Amino acid sequence: MIQVASIGYPRIGPKRELKKALEQFWKGDIQEQDLHNVAKNLRKQNWQTQKDCGVDLISCNDFSFYDQVLDAICLLGAVPKRYKWDGNEVNLKTYFAMARGSQTSELDVPALEMTKWFDTNYHYLVPELSKDQSFKISSNKPFAEYEEAKQAGFNTKPVILGPLSFLLLGKGIDGLNTIDLLDKIIPVYKEVVKKFADLGAEWIQIDEPILVKDLDSNVVSKIKNTLNELKQAAGSSKILLTTYFEDLNEDVKEEVFASDVDVIHLDLVRGTKNKGYVKNSKKQLSLGLVDGRNVWKTNLQEKIDFVKDNVSGDVIIASSCPLLHSPYDLELEQKVPDEIKRWLSFAKQKLQELSVIKGCVNEGSHKEELESNTADVQDRKTSKLIHDDAVKNRIKTINQSIVNRKSSYPERAVVQKEIFALPKYPTTTIGSFPQTTDVRQARAKFKRGELDGQSYDKFLEEKTIDTIKKQEEIGIDVIVHGEFERNDMVEYFGEQLKGFTFTSSGFVQSYGSRCVKPPIIFGNVSRPKPMTVRWSKFAQEQTKQIVKGMLTGPITILQWSFVRDDQPRKFTAQEIGFAIRDEVEDLEKNGIRMIQIDEPALREGLPLKKKDWKEYLTWSVDCFKISAAVVKDETQIHTHMCYAEFEDIIDSIAALDADVISIETSRSRMELLTTFEKFKYPNEVGPGVYDIHSPRVPSKDEMKELIQKASKLIDPSRVWVNPDCGLKTRGWPETIDALTKMVDAAKELRAE
């Protein structure tokens, strides 16, 4: 028998209803009850959609007001002391204090730390666990949701984050190794499972995505017993253990398959090795056949054949991972051209695909749907829109002379020092300047057609001129144009590149109420015409000082988009690398002498398993170099990175061979500096001397101290002075204040 399972559905609402309600609630515009009503409607709608799509195992407790890990923190009563929780049922006040911080007279605390969920663009709140941590069921939410579904007529499968993932994703304070809390947490998990069983749940889904990571042997040795304990508590209820985002390593697979859980879910989209675990498996499996992280229509025939070839007994089929990472419903889409739309599938369509697979394998039904799917899949394979031979041929030409600069850094540095004649500790910024309300309003009006192109252009010119003047007055050495014409650092480029398309409805949750709408890269990428030359050139004409050109790098563009799945990511990145290369070349031809290529997302593209890092880093570094290496020795290439934790990839960062890198350090200043202590960074560096993420303006002396510290580890002749990221989220007064102090700090150090 085949059953279709939904292992998690998006929750923000098809029209982002939850986002809107949350933000209204936080502002005080609606009451708690109103928020609950919106949530309740969304849940009901989700259950109904899943049912209508033919799902046999419908999820509950995949809903969350903010984050499923935060929900688990509440369920287990792992609220850190500073939130002054009274130990009863965790209420919304405490919940949102952990999510967003609280600034009331009773409770003045920052939020929990937030970090990326595996290699997705979703962020979770990090459990903070202490040595004397205790756990007890402290939230009724999962059980209430199960009952709510039942009352609404849906027999659902509750989903909870498993104990191993919960602990290993958490951070131990005072030197605690979080896995050491396993014996303490299991009894509470057993209570949770038993409670669901008592309520009548036929299935209980336990999410353990951590199992796809490299786990040390101590953890591996605990897997089987942990799972068995949970199964024991479940009694006759069945446990679906889900793993996703990658393969299970051999050692983990052995343990999981030897456990008593009823069904194991494997990601068969990203996990190629996982496919080998399917045939002759003694365990019943849930096959993650449909890509839960991308937007492409599934090749159904291929999946049907896979199931027929590999499975004989009972099986569950599902998306590769929870559909949290997919947009809602393609039927709502209004922007993507029809020729491309027929290749796409969002969350709802993915469930329908699963039901077609089931129908076709089972009794040969759903023939029509299969035929139209085959036609769409075929159309995509051969479409002229996608395939551009010139681009395909160009990436075949990659060789050392394309990837490498003409001379080595020390040689270039001599030339550049002479022609730029910058003072010691040159000052600069990262690119963007405050995107104030007037800037955003003008853009919105222009987009709506209420402001004509000429007036909008004029407005941007004025903004740019004004920003250049301000930088001159402050005394910044290398200035920027301010990026007022840009909405977003990826979208701005994607909109001008061939091979990209944009949706009106393709939102996915990033964190809390925040969503992103990634561009879709559907075809070979190229750059039909210059993208930034107009603004860089205009800016350079306004001043005698050097204006730095400003581009987004190939890996960041790749990382923040839905990427085509019909060729390796590497090829797509190389194509983007060439598109940026063309832009770099044009900037240089037009008199731009310094060009910054931002790569803030280089690190987040790292594969989940260490064994795959090297390959990724090799091609991603090369893609950056393809985009940069076209210039003469006299042209200075800058790059910028943020989001810290550079330690493990510092040699790859050096391998980018940018003349100058500006890097985020102010929040984790010590860590980065120790990294530089261990690794002698060979080129020029601008360690961010102040944190732009906070409105706080640091003192001149604080910045001086940081520059001095950096100068002990890096030859002072290679140290630049800059903030740690772009200034677009800041206001003008604090920006001017901070930059003035920054310039003063550099000037004083020069004099010393």
Contact window for ligand GLN (CB under 6 A) among 145-153, 376-384, 494-502, 724-732:
724-732
Between the alpha carbon of residue 460 and those of residues 261, 490, 539, 546, 673, the distances in Å are 61, 19, 11, 20, 38
Active-site pick, 36, 123, 265, 693: 693
Q: Which of ligand GLN, Zn ion, none interacts with 738 (beta carbon under 5 to 8 A by kind)? A: none
The residue among 1, 12, 42 whose CA lies nearest residue 509 is: 12
Is residue 550 within a helix (H) or strand (E), and if so which, with residue range? strand 546-552
User: What Cα–Cα distance (Å) separates residue 713 from each residue in 657, 707, 717?
Assistant: 19, 10, 12
The neighbouring-strand residues paired with 172 are: 129
- Annotate each residue in 400-439 with x if it binds ligand GLN (CB under 6 A) or - if it does not, as one string: ------------------------------xxx-------
| Residue reference for tokens 């096959």 | 287
Q: Does 735 bind ligand GLN (CB under 6 A)?
A: no
Interatomic CA distance for residues 239 and 492, integer angstroms: 46
User: Is 481 a catalytic site residue?
Assistant: no
Q: What is the DSSP string of 345-366?
A: --HHHHHHHHHHHHHHHHHS--
Spatial distance between the Cα atoms of 276 and 409, rounded to a whole number of angstroms: 47
Q: How many CB atoms lie within 10 A of CB 163?
A: 29
Q: Choosing among ligand GLN, Zn ion, none, which partner's interface includes residue 439 (Cβ < 5 to 8 Å by kind)? A: none
**Rama region for 332: left / alpha / beta (φ>0; ψ in -120 to 50; rest):** alpha
Q: How far is the CB of 642 from ligand GLN (least distance, A)?
A: 5
Number of neighbouring beta carbons within 10 Å of residue 88: 9
User: Helix, strand, coil: what percent of the chain each, to 5?
Assistant: 45, 15, 40
Which region, judged by CB under 5 A, interacts with Zn ion, from 280-288, 295-303, 475-483, 634-642? 634-642
Picked from ligand GLN, Zn ion, none, the partner binding residue 327 (CB below 5 to 8 A depending on kind) is none
The residue from 181, 550, 563, 649 that contacts ligand GLN (CB under 6 A) is: 550
Q: Which is nearer to ligand GLN, 640 or 704 (CB)?
A: 640
**Angstrom distance (rounded) from CA 513 to CA 280:** 44
642 binds Zn ion (CB under 5 A): yes
Q: Does 724 engage in binding with ligand GLN (CB under 6 A)?
A: no
Contact flags string 482-501 toward ligand GLN, x per CB under 6 A: -x-----x------------
Residue closer to ligand GLN, measured from CB, 13 or 723: 723
Q: Which amino acid is at 445?
A: K
Instruction: Calculate ∠ Cα 227-228-234, nearest 5°.
Output: 95
Judged by CB under 6 A, the residue of 56, 267, 353, 598 near ligand GLN is 598
Structure tokens at 239: 């446990």
Q: At what angle do helices 300-310 and 347-363 cross, to 10 degrees?
A: 50
Contacting residue, 57, 239, 644, 725, with ligand GLN by CB under 6 A: 725
Query: Which run of H or E residues covers position 126?
Result: none
Alpha-helical runs (H) found in 384-452: 389-396, 400-403, 409-420, 437-448
489 binds, among Zn ion, ligand GLN, none (CB under 5 to 8 A by kind): ligand GLN
Q: Shortest approach of Zn ion to residue 640 CB, angstroms?
A: 6
Of residues 395 and 725, the one with the C-beta less far from ligand GLN: 725
- d(CA 602, CA 577) in angstroms, rounded, equals 13
Residue 550's binding partner among ligand GLN, Zn ion, none (Cβ under 5 to 8 angstroms by kind) is ligand GLN
Q: Which of residues 631-650 bind ligand GLN (CB under 6 A)?
A: 640, 642
Q: Does 726 bind ligand GLN (CB under 6 A)?
A: yes
b/e per residue 1-15 (b: at least 16 CB within 10 A): ebbbbbbbbbbbbbe
Cβ proximity to ligand GLN: between 365 and 487 the closer is 487
Best CA proximity match to 572, nearest among 386, 721, 698, 726: 386
> Distance (Å, rounded) from C-alpha 182 to C-alpha 187?
9
Contact mark string toward Zn ion, 680..719, x via CB under 5 A: ----------------------------------------
Taking the C-alpha atoms of residue 298 and residue 728, their distance in angstroms, rounded to an integer, is 39
* Residue 728 interaction partner, one of Zn ion, ligand GLN, none, beta carbon < 5-8 Å per kind: ligand GLN
Q: Of the listed pieces 26-34, 44-52, 619-627, 720-728, which binds ligand GLN according to CB under 6 A?
A: 720-728
- Stretch binding Zn ion (CB under 5 A), from 70-78, 222-230, 401-409, 723-731: 723-731
Tokens of 542: 């306004």
CB count in 10 Å sphere of residue 28: 7
Phi and psi at residue 70, to the nearest 5°: -60, -40
Q: What is the residue whose two structure tokens read 């605990």?
A: 222
722: which strand partners?
A: 688
Binding piece for Zn ion, criterion CB under 5 A, among 2-10, 20-28, 89-97, 722-730:
722-730
User: By C-beta, is 574 or 596 nearer to Zn ion?
Assistant: 596
Cα separation of 133 and 139, whole Å?
A: 17
Shortest distance in whole angstroms from residue 491 CB to ligand GLN? 13
Alpha carbons within 13 angstroms on the beta-carbon side of residue 726 total 25
Minimum separation from the CB atom of position 620 to ligand GLN (A): 16
Least distance in angstroms from the C-beta of 8 to ligand GLN:
29
Regarding 587 and contact with ligand GLN (CB under 6 A), the answer is no
Which residue stretch of 104-112, 366-374, 498-506, 722-730 sits at the interface with ligand GLN (rule: CB under 6 A)?
722-730
Q: What minimum distance in Å lies between the beta carbon of 432 and ligand GLN? A: 3
Specify which residues 686 forms β-bridges with. Answer: 662
Q: Is 728 an interacting residue with respect to ligand GLN (CB under 6 A)?
A: yes
Q: Looking at beta carbons only, is 270 or 730 nearer to Zn ion?
A: 730
432 makes contact, choosing from Zn ion, ligand GLN, none, with CB < 5 to 8 Å by partner type, with ligand GLN
Which listed option, ligand GLN, Zn ion, none, makes contact with residue 652 (CB within 5 to 8 Å by class)?
A: none
From 356, 725, 739, 749, residue interacting with Zn ion (rule: CB under 5 A): 725
Asked if residue 57 binds Zn ion (CB under 5 A), the reply is no
* # chain residues binding ligand GLN, by CB under 6 A: 13
Stretch that binds Zn ion, among 103-111, 328-336, 387-395, 640-648 (CB under 5 A): 640-648
The count of other CB atoms within 10 Å of the CB of residue 732 is 14
Q: Where are the alpha helices (DSSP H) in 542-610?
A: 554-559, 569-589
Q: How far is the CB of 144 from ligand GLN (least distance, A)?
A: 40
Q: Indicate the SS3 state at residue 619.
A: helix
Shortest approach of ligand GLN to residue 386 CB, angstroms?
29
Tell me which stretch binds Zn ion (CB under 5 A): 506-514, 522-530, 638-646, 735-743.
Answer: 638-646
The conformational region for residue 676 under phi > 0 = left, psi -120 to 50 = alpha, else beta, is alpha
Min dist. Cβ of residue 194 to Zn ion (A): 48
Q: Provide DSSP, 240-289.
A: EEE--SSPPPHHHHHHHHHS--SEEEEE-SS-HHHHTTTTT-SSEEEEEE
Cα gap 475→709, rounded to integer Å: 23
Tell me the residue nearest to ligand GLN as measured from the CB: 726
> What minimum distance in Å lies between the beta carbon of 481 and ligand GLN?
11
Q: Which residues bind Zn ion (CB under 5 A)?
A: 600, 642, 725
Q: Which residues bind ligand GLN (CB under 6 A)?
A: 430-432, 483, 489, 550, 598, 600, 640, 642, 725-726, 728
Tell me the catalytic residues. 693
